[in-house]
């Protein structure tokens, strides 16, 4: 198989990116939720004749790393530390919002970045709460 075969077989919703310095072709899949983002799928290394010499399944690599790294992160402790860094009034405001409006808990959504949680605040004129977990 050659580099041209990889590029010719890229499916709709996928991108192929040639990393010439590494002699590699990276195949990505567009993220349907985030148009400017893409997910790694496959990595192909090629030789001087543009022949594919190795195929890496990046989905499998990512799954393996998630399992290993998830064991190393104490999410509760990380959140606890970040709440301590937020300041007493911010912590209290978030807690009050969740006490007054328990339905908001279902609307808490993570956003891309370090680890960013947006906690809706249904109080009129009040901004949503933002919690950044930067230690990841």
Structurally, how many domains does the chain consist of? 2
Do 17 and 61 share a structural domain? yes
pLDDT at 34: 61
Do 44 and 83 share a structural domain? no
pTM of the model: 0.58
The 3-class secondary structure across 70-109, one letter per residue, is HCCCCHHHHHHHHHHHHCHHHHHHHHHHHHHCHHHHHHCE
Whole-number CA gyration radius for the chain: 22
- The tens-digit pLDDT sequence of the chain (136 residues) is 999 999 999 988 888 889 888 999 999 888 766 666 788 889 999 999 999 999 999 999 989 988 988 888 788 888 888 888 888 899 999 999 999 999 999 988 877 666 667 888 999 999 998 877 665 4
- Measured distance between the N- and C-terminal CA atoms of the chain, rounded to whole angstroms: 39
User: Quick one: 97 exposed, middle or buried, by C-beta within 10 A (0-12, 13-18, 19+)?
Assistant: buried
Q: Which residue bears the tokens 């893409």?
A: 38
Domain that holds residue 61: 3-68
User: For residues 19 and 29, what is the distance between their CA atoms, to the nearest angstrom?
Assistant: 16
Last residue within a domain, chosen from 21, 36, 68: 68
Pair of tokens at residue 16: 């192929």
């Amino acid at each position: 198989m050659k580099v041209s075969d990889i590029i010719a077989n890229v499916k709709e919703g996928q991108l192929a990116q040639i990393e010439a310095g590494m002699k590699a072709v990276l195949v990505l899949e567009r993220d349907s939720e985030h148009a400017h983002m893409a997910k790694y799928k496959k990595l192909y290394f090629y030789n001087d004749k543009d022949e594919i010499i190795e195929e890496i399944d990046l989905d499998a690599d990512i799954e393996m790393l998630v399992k290993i790294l998830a064991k190393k992160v104490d999410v509760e402790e990380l959140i606890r530390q970040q709440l301590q860094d937020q300041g007493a009034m911010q912590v209290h405001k978030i807690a009050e919002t969740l006490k007054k409006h328990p339905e908001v808990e279902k609307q808490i959504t993570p956003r891309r970045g370090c680890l960013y949680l947006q906690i809706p605040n249904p109080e009129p004129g009040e901004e949503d709460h933002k919690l950044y977990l930067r230690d990841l």
